[in-house]
Amino acid sequence: MPMLQLPPEVADVLRSFYTCEVTTVNRQGQPMTWPALAYFDEPNGQLFFSVSIAFPVKAQNARRHPQVSLLYSDPTGSQLTDPPAVLVQGDATVADVLDLFEPRIKGLSDLAAKRQPDSGAFSSNKVARRLFDWYLFKRIGIAVTPRRILVWSNRDFSRAPHTVEVANVE
Amino acid sequence: MWNEKLAACVKDYSSGVLTVVDETTGYPMSVRCAPQMDTAREVFIIPDAPLFTAGWRGKACLLFHRHNDRLEGLHQLVVRGELTREDGVLTLKVGEFVTANGRSDTDAMPHAGAPLHMLQFLLLGRRKARAYLAKRGEPWPPIPYDKIDRALVEDAQKKKQGK
């Protein structure tokens, strides 16, 4: 999968926003949006996030209906100055996370540790790690290949977004 | 169904994320907007709806969430329902309030400062994980705890050395 060629301010948002709002669509055609921490897998031109096997609805929805979206609209913690809002619409592929040391899994967990430093006290506790194995280590990965990207400058939703063509660098 | 306690939580948010599905492409479309709650009619109205929502109708949801700059203090709540236009104003008729914490009285996510809530979440998670594995039909591969423990020690050392 090739890298994405994106305007720098859009790439900064994908790298720096702490959370995005992920939407999947259920069997009844109902969209459900939840916040998620997504890892920008730059070498593969994808966005990657995961869910615990205890709460697999996003993954189950994405398996049935692969068209998903990620909205980056809350810059809290990102330290970016007046960033745009970005909506990524893309196609999801879903798979159980069986190798915890795969680069993008490692990338995601490093990102979580960096952005949520207080969680270190929890995850470094051996007992907690075993009690919460279903949350920390038994996960389903969702990789999203962007198909269309919409951008609102200054996160001004009163204006129409502009579309960024999704171009890949081979 | 309207939920008084969760509706009260919504008052802590100045904006939310409204989403519908584009019927022609199948992709979801979302915007951040400033919904107003009308408790008497049990609806949310979006008086200054973003341009992008022109023509939006049908099944929709509104997400409210927040966190601080250390990704703590997590709160999240979804309202799902039917989006219509009433007298030209975008209106979400509430079908259901949904939380991610297994509770119907708060949008706060479990955290160490609320041990009882954390314990309830632990039990819920273990039960649901067992159900997932039963459906999956084969056991999850063993967790490589030794390798994880070593990696955590290495990460801690790197952090100490400022790498």
Which pLDDT band, with edges at 50, 70 and 90, does B3 fall under?
very high
Would you tell me which CATH number, out of the four given (2.70.50.60, 2.30.110.10, 2.60.40.3080, 1.10.357.10), belongs to the domain A3-169? 2.30.110.10
Position A118 scores a pLDDT of 82
DSSP bridge pairs for A5: A167
Percent of chain A past pLDDT 90, that is, above it, reads 81
* Whole-number pLDDT of residue A1: 65
Tokens 């890949």 belong to which residue?
A168
What residues contact A12, with CB distance under 8 A and at least 6 apart? Answer: A80, A83
Q: What percent of chain B has pLDDT over 70?
A: 99
Please give the ipTM for the structure prediction.
0.94
Mean pLDDT taken over chain B: 92
Q: Which of residues 24-63 of A touch B (CB under 8 A)?
A: 24-25, 28-35, 37, 52-56
Chain B residue closest in CA terms to A53: B129
pLDDT mean over B122-142: 92
- State pLDDT tens for residues A33-90: 999 999 999 999 999 999 999 999 999 999 999 999 999 999 999 999 999 999 999 9
Please, what is the end-to-end C-alpha distance for chain A in angstroms?
Answer: 8
Q: Who's near A137: CB < 8 A, 6+ residues apart? A: A100, A129, B143, B148
> What DSSP character marks residue B53?
G
A127 touches B at CB < 8 Å: no
Query: Which pair of structure tokens corresponds to residue A61?
Result: 């929805």
Nearest chain B Cα distance for residue A107, angstroms: 13
For the domain B4-99, what is the CATH code? 2.30.110.10
Task: Give the Å distances, CA to CA, from A167 to A1, B33, B163.
Answer: 12, 29, 34
On whether any CB of chain B is under 8 Å from the CB of A19, the answer is yes
Q: Above 70 in pLDDT, residue B142?
A: yes
- The distance of A163 to chain B (nearest Cα, Å) reads 12
Of the candidates B80, B126, B152, the beta carbon closest to that of A32 is on B80
In this prediction, residues B56-85 reach a mean pLDDT of: 95
| pLDDT at res. B158 | 81
| pLDDT computed for residue B101 by the predictor | 87
| Residue-range domain boundaries for chain B | 4-99, 115-160
- Calculate how close chain A gets to B39, using CA atoms only, in Å: 22
Domain extents for chain A?
3-169
pLDDT band at B29 (very low <50, low <70, confident <90, very high): very high
A117-126, A136-145, B14-23, B74-83: segment of lowest average pLDDT: A117-126
pLDDT at position B15 is 96
Asked if the model's pLDDT at residue B113 lies above 80, the reply is no
Partner-chain contact B30 A87, CB within 8 Å: yes
Q: In terms of CA atoms, which chain A residue is nearest residue B146?
A: A126
- Residue B159: its pLDDT value, please? 76
Average per-residue pLDDT for chain A: 93
Tokens found for residue B77: 């709540």
At A165, the pLDDT band (50, 70, 90 cuts) reads confident
Q: Greatest CA span in chain B, whole angstroms?
A: 63
- With a cut of 80, say whether residue A160 has pLDDT above it: yes
* Contact flag A160-B52 (C-beta cutoff 8 Å): yes
Q: Which residue of B14, B15, B18, B31 to mutate against A (max A Cβ within 10 Å)?
A: B31
Kindly write down the DSSP assignment for every residue of B59-84, as one continuous string. Answer: EEEEEEEE--TTS-S-EEEEEEEEEE
B144 touches chain A (CB under 8 A): yes
Chain A contact for B114 (CB, 8 A cutoff): no
**CB contact (8 A) between residue A101 and residue B147:** yes
What average pLDDT does this structure show over B6-27?
96
Q: What is the rounded distance in angstroms from the CA atom of residue A31 to the CA atom of residue B44?
A: 17
Inform me whether the pLDDT recorded for B163 exceeds 70. Answer: no
From chain B, the residues in CB contact with A37 under 8 A are: 71
CA distances from B62 to A14, A126, B4, B40, B45 (A): 22, 38, 16, 19, 11
Would an 8 Å CB–CB cutoff place A159 in contact with chain B?
A: yes
